[in-house]
């Protein structure tokens, strides 16, 4: 792909809005790479939990980051050479990922890596601050949301399908707490970029949301 053909798609939104699923579908249809930024934070959170590192011990966190490699290949996220797709999707890792995302050291490392990926090739990225911080010049920006109830139902069904024993009320409470934490954190809080198109996916199917985004992109000559 020539440099002038490179473009970025930024998809932001709260937990459980369906960003990752939609981003993957959009990337597949456009034939470009999907970068799961949320999974990158989850990978860091997973490693911190595994190593039993205290987030208050900044030097230990920085040392761990310096010895961490994260990559994507064939739909898999690879942490230090190991595929960790399932390991990073537990409630414990979800909470730790949110905590890690508030640490300047963690964000600096991952944001630098994400920007490098976006400069090298056409990509779809989803997360909390892609359009407002990571890819501020992205050609296409979308902000996906849905009611807390629906997002909790989606997450609950996903976890149950994976055989995890979870309580719906606990999942809903976690969604609401994460919304508050992500939106009020001092460092790059969750918010819609001024030039982003907002999509409320409540009651919409994956196909409907995907088609809406693809239609918007094709309006500008990319397909």
Mean pLDDT along residues 116-141: 91
Dihedral pair phi/psi, residue 127, rounded to 5°: 175, -150
pLDDT digits (tens, 9 = 90+) for 178-223: 899 888 888 788 899 999 999 999 989 999 999 999 999 988 765 5
pLDDT score for 26: 96
Binding positions are 13-21
Helix axes 104-120, 37-51, angle to 10 degrees: 140
Binding positions for ATP are 13-21
pLDDT digits (tens, 9 = 90+) for 133-189: 999 999 999 999 999 999 999 889 988 998 888 999 999 999 999 899 888 888 788
The better pLDDT of the pair 127, 83 is held by: 83
pLDDT digits (tens, 9 = 90+) for 70-112: 988 777 899 999 999 999 999 899 999 989 988 999 989 999 9
Dihedral pair phi/psi, residue 74, rounded to 5°: 55, 40
Q: What is the 3-state secondary structure (H, E, C) of 37-79?
A: HHHHHHHHHHHHHHHCCCCCCHHHHHHHHHCCCEEEECCEEEE
pLDDT digits (tens, 9 = 90+) for 11-38: 999 988 889 899 999 999 998 889 988 8
Q: How far apart are the first and last CA of the chain?
A: 13
**Helix (H) / strand (E) containing 130:** none
Mean pLDDT along residues 128-136: 92
Domains of the chain, earliest start first: 9-214 (3.40.50.300)
pLDDT category at 117 given cuts 50, 70, 90 is: confident
pLDDT score for 189: 86
Mean pLDDT along residues 42-71: 94
């Amino acid at each position: 792909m020539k440099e002038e053909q490179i473009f970025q798609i930024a998809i932001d939104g709260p937990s459980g809005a369906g960003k990752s699923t939609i981003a993957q579908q959009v990337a597949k249809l456009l034939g470009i790479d999907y970068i799961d930024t949320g999974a990158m934070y989850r990978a860091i959170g997973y490693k911190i939990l595994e190593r039993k590192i205290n987030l208050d011990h900044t030097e230990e966190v920085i040392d761990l980051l310096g010895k961490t490699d994260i990559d994507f290949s064939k739909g898999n996220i690879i942490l230090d050479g190991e595929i960790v797709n399932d390991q990073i999707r537990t409630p414990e890792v979800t909470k730790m990922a949110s905590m890690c995302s508030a640490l300047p050291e963690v964000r600096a490392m991952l944001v630098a890596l994400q920007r490098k990926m976006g400069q090298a090739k056409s990509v779809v990225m989803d997360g909390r601050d892609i359009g407002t911080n990571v890819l501020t010049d992205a050609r296409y920006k979308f902000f996906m949301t849905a009611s807390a109830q629906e997002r909790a139902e989606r997450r609950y069904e996903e976890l149950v399908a994976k055989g995890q024993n979870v309580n719906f009320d606990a999942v809903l409470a976690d969604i609401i707490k994460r919304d508050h934490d992500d939106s009020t954190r001092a460092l790059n809080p969750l918010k819609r970029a001024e030039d982003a198109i907002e999509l409320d996916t409540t009651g919409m199917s994956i196909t409907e949301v995907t088609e809406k985004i693809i239609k918007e992109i094709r309006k500008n000559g990319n397909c």
